[in-house]
């Protein structure tokens, strides 16, 4: 530890795991709450977990996957005691620049009921595993 | 809400909107301030908003777009009561790995006047909408 | 500054620089600590800095690069007075979707000794400079 770094007692860290979310494919948490922050892991358009079945996206289309992905982020936020109103950042990963306009229309529809200022957002175009066309994560402040 | 999650009163959330920035293409804020954090949304090289005109990048080249993008991030930081000195993270999205060296030279020139420690940074290569070759967001702590 | 933004005295900002890490290629810090947050910049699989030599990845393979990358993140966390137990988010940038399963196996092995809840994680597939197949950054709360 460098001399400039004061020793700070660590705050408690809590995993946030919505009961119906599919199990992460590795040792990470769907959400983590620590020190007034709630970080939501990258969510995709998987429907609720079904015993004995592999996770699969709710549909091939952008609308279904986007809506389910946002609902999965919301489930983590709410399980952690937060809501979209607390989110300060939403990171959107799409796979096709042609999806931008349609994605924005779906996004605006999804957030039509928001009463406070919307979160900031960054949208970039990346590769995702086969079958997935959108991934979203979020950071909230409690 | 899980049993481990204490009920915390939410802090106020404020949208940060520089007056000359172009309107976001969807329901998101250019910046959000909440609980001591200021999150800047992904900025691109659009010049100042002109009434009745669609946003467009200031130039096709890396130098012009990078400089304008950094200026757009700065506008959000300053509108939110912060500066580059408060930024802890800068996320850089380029479209071409061949741009890395030139981008770094521009970045260093832009930040030559920084008096405190520079922010951390992650740079990756993604797809962006046509005409855009750089996107940057930032997180500041007040 | 907008009317809604209260004037907040800034917290101190500290660069976090592990002594053996290679020098960043531009004006950014390997880590920054400010206001209870520790942000780790994107790390890659470079071995320890050697005087007079350019940084180079420890190996061409996913296992070697991933392990070294995680060790480089850890070095920043520890230099900043934190550990993996304090990390709330890990961002993983891979270059090939075919690496997902093997990456997860390595990730789980690396974190086998974690005693608290694992960090959240987002994994996307991007371009990286030649020779690099994985980049990772992290956010910790003290």
The model's pLDDT over A50-108, given as tens digits with 9 standing for 90+, comes to: 988 989 999 999 999 999 999 999 999 999 999 999 999 999 999 999 999 999 999 99
Kindly list the partner chains of chain B, i.e. chains with 3 or more CB atom pairs below 8 Å: A, C
How large is the greatest C-alpha to C-alpha distance in chain A, in angstroms? 53
Q: What is the pLDDT of residue C108?
A: 98
| Cα–Cα distance for residue pair A96/A125, rounded to 1 Å | 6
- C101: number of Cβ within 10 Å: 12
Strand stretches in chain B, DSSP E: 13-16, 31-34, 37-43, 87-94, 120-125, 134-141
How far apart, in Å, are the Cα atoms of C90 and each of A98, A128, C23, C73, C119? 29, 17, 22, 10, 6
Which of C89, C107, C111 lies nearest to residue A39, judging by beta carbons? Answer: C89
Low-confidence ranges of chain B (pLDDT < 50): 1-6
Nearest-angstrom CA–CA distance, B58 and B60:
7
CB proximity C11 to B under 8 Å? yes
User: Which sign does the torsion angle of CA A46, A49, A55, A60 carry?
Assistant: negative
Mutate: best of C121, C125, C128, C140, partner A, most A CBs <10 A: C121
What is the average pLDDT across C126-142? 98
C26/B contact by beta carbon, under 8 A? yes
- 8 Å CB contact between C40 and C77: yes
**Neighboring chain C residues of A80 at a CB cutoff of 8 Å:** none
What percent of chain C has pLDDT above 90?
89
The pair of structure tokens assigned to A96 is: 């096709």
Query: How much is the mean pLDDT over chain C?
Result: 94
pLDDT tens digits for range A7-56: 556 789 999 999 999 999 999 999 999 999 999 999 999 999 998 898 99
Running DSSP on this structure, what letter comes out for residue A60? Answer: S
**Are residues B88 and C39, on separate chains, in Cβ contact within 8 Å?**
yes
pLDDT digits (tens, 9 = 90+) for C82-107: 999 999 999 999 999 999 999 999 99
- Quickly state the pLDDT bin for C79 (edges 50, 70, 90): very high
CB of A131 within 8 Å of any CB in chain C? no
Q: Of how many residues is chain B composed?
A: 142
Selecting from C5, C31, C135 the residue whose C-beta is nearest the C-beta of B81 gives C5
Contacts with B127 from chain A: Cβ below 8 Å:
97, 124-126
Give pLDDT, residue C8.
53
Give me the helices (H) in chain A, please: 62-79, 100-110
Chain B residues touching A103 at Cβ < 8 A: 26
* Amino acid A5: pLDDT: 47
Nearest chain A alpha carbon to C112 = A27
Largest Cα separation within chain C, whole Å, is: 53
Interface of A with C in 84-113 (CB under 8 A): 91, 93
Cα–Cα distance for residue pair A23/C76, rounded to 1 Å:
29
Q: Furthest-apart CA pair in chain B: how many Å?
A: 53
Q: How many CB atoms lie within 10 A of CB C75?
A: 21
Q: Is C40:C137 a contact under the CB 8 Å cutoff?
A: yes
Per-residue pLDDT of C25-57, as tens digits, reads 999 999 999 999 999 999 999 999 998 898 999
Cβ contacts of C32 on chain B, cutoff 8 Å = 88-89, 117-120
Residues from chain B that touch C137, judged by Cβ atoms under 8 A, are 120, 122
Chains in touch with C (3+ beta-carbon pairs under 8 Å) read: A, B
Write down the residue that tokens 């919301």 correspond to. A74
Contacts of C77 in chain B (CB under 8 A): none
pTM, whole model, 2 decimals? 0.94
Q: How far is B49 from chain A (nearest CA, A)?
A: 19
Least CB-CB distance to A79: which of B2, B25, B29?
A: B2
pLDDT for res A1: 38
Minimal CA separation from C27 to chain B, in Å: 5
* Residues in chain C, total: 142
Give contacts of C36 with chain A, Cβ < 8 Å.
Answer: 8, 11, 35
DSSP C21-82: SPPPSSS-BSEEEETTEEEEEEE-SB-S--TT----BS-SSHHHHHHHHHHHHHHHHHHTT-
């Amino acid at each position: 530890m460098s001399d400039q770094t004061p020793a700070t007692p660590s705050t408690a860290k809590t995993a946030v795991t919505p009961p119906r979310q599919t199990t992460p494919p590795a040792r990470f948490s769907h959400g983590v709450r620590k020190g007034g922050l709630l970080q939501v892991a990258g969510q995709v358009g998987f429907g609720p977990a079904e015993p004995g079945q592999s996770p699969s996206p709710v549909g091939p289309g952008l609308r279904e996957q986007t809506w389910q992905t946002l609902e999965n982020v919301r489930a983590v936020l709410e399980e952690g005691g937060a809501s979209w109103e607390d989110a300060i950042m939403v990171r959107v990963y799409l796979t096709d620049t042609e999806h931008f306009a349609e994605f924005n229309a779906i996004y605006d529809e999804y957030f039509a009921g928001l009463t406070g200022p919307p979160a900031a957002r960054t949208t970039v175009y990346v590769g995702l595993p086969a079958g997935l066309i959108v991934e979203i994560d979020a950071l909230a402040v409690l």
